[in-house]
Structure 1
Amino acid sequence: MGWTLLILLVVLTVVHGNPTVMVRTGSGPTVGFDQHPNSVPLGEDIQTTTEGESEVVEEVMTTGVLNPSHYPARRAATVVQHYLNTRYGSPYRWIFLSTVHSGSAEEVAEMGRKYQLALTMQEMISNVSGQCSAELFFPGGEGQSAPQVQASCEGLHQSNTTAQEEAFYQQHRTSNNLASGNNIPDSYGHVEPSMKPFWHLGGVASSFIMLRESNESTLYNMAQVANFTQLETEKDQLRFNYHVLLHEMISQEIIHWKLLVTWSPEQGVQVLQTELQPKCHHCEAPPNTTN
């Protein structure tokens, strides 16, 4: 009996090929999970199909207890990541989502949807991680309104970057040579060591935009600093013009923003001005790195 079953499975594999897992993205085409390394289910139906056989459809929950690996939970957790960067980020502190442990969502009286999350965040420069709990509310209704976030973390802020930040600040506060750079990372995903603090600062500043622009149909990532230039120090704040490329991973759009960014160890990162640039329909996502 065992040999008969094995032979039957081999025959079926030869005839039908390997199964593929696909996602239905609204009314658009069906795409494979391997189209993007960070692809996750989109809150629609997952179709598991073998050529010539009927489809098996598994519903992805968007309310109640959520699957931590599916899009609704990871989207909400990524928004928490952006929130933490706007609160604690610096040229030497850049926070990323590590793991979603659990999540739940509920409708709030036609006002929007509220999420409860348990997750691990990681500070990528020091490699320190911390356990976090968060509550996130996506407002409903017409018009774009930023999500509301509350989060608390244990252990995430144990790394002491004061000395590095102070040295960086003093180096560039009175320098006669204003810093500048472009294409960070480069086309091979490489970042020069001297450019890493500016890369981190651009990523933290981008979180201000990604937090503001996020909704239940987006998943943002900062892909590249196209260029930055340092401006004259003003009121003891380092000042920079940044041009950043954001990758919206659901639509696969590359979105360009220009930012006026200030930073000091005492005042933290602030984004004073933002300007959305015209769409670039032929642009592709550059290689990403978190080093």
Structure 2
Amino acid sequence: MEQQQAMQLLELIRNNMESCIFGKKEEVTWILTALVAGGHVLIEDVPGTGKTQLVKALARSIGGTFHRIQCNPDLLPTDITGVSIYHPKEEQFLFRPGPIMANILLADEINRATTKSQSALLEAMEERHVSVDGVTYSLPKPFALFATQNPIEFEGTYSLPEAQLDRFLMKISIGYPDEASERKLILEKAAARSADSLSAVADIEDVLAIQQLAESVHLDGSVADYLLALIRGTRRHPAVLLGASPRAGVALASCARAYALLQRRLFVLPDDVKAVAPLVLGHRLHLRSEARMHGAAAATVLQEVLRQIQVPVGMER
């Protein structure tokens, strides 16, 4: 796919999503960045901020299959992956696919599912397939998991393990809309389009082609060194107990390439790395207890690391 065609399609998807999502241009950009990079997103925010609407709008815009899982303590792993059922007439077990067999999967309030059910998502997130009764089933392409959780409600929840957090490409927050957008939402709610009413402006083949184009976006050696220095800087910071993993470095490079493409470039700038770093690395850093007691946060630690690392001046395009 040519760059011009990819940019036109991405702009169509963006405009389609923004027709039912008011005042969230930046958040739409991050969702599209994750889609182009082929990764999963953890959306942490309070109820009522449009998390489900945003994900559903993306699925509708690209013509992909969309399934939603409402996570709760009663949810079983087979409720996610599917189950093999014996059919007497066929005299064999037949696989009944679960909701994970979708292009876009929304796991609502993922931290309300038990750790056993959460672990059912790990194989799918990393390997893009699921195993049921010893048989492996490939997931549709593309496959993206969008999980939500409430940051202020902890009763009856199960914290996501570090291994699962590391598999999320990004962690974002929707936040409240600005005053003008919220006023527009209140006045025009009856006339506003819902995500269910959106029509597809691209198809799955288009998304796969855009993802392939993003992989070819040039990452200069000097920018790669800058990115690596940032990753290693998180591990050396005195407030950090567990820094960014090698998987985090690969994720940061993928996001930087996708973000550069969304900025209509086929090469990555250091500014692209700096723009996506808080979203890619923030949830992967685990601070020391004494640092947290003194008010340290992952966001401030990342800003300190970014200030300490020299930005490359010249690079080949």
Shorter-normalised TM-score: what interval?
Answer: under 0.3
Q: Which has the larger radius of gyration?
A: 1
Q: Which has the higher strand share?
A: 1
Whichever structure has more helix as a proportion of its residues is 2
Relative contact order: is structure 1 or structure 2 higher (C-alpha 8 Å, sep ≥ 6)? 2
Scaled by the length of structure 2, what TM-score is found? 0.24
Q: If the length of structure 1 is used for normalisation, what is the TM-score?
A: 0.25
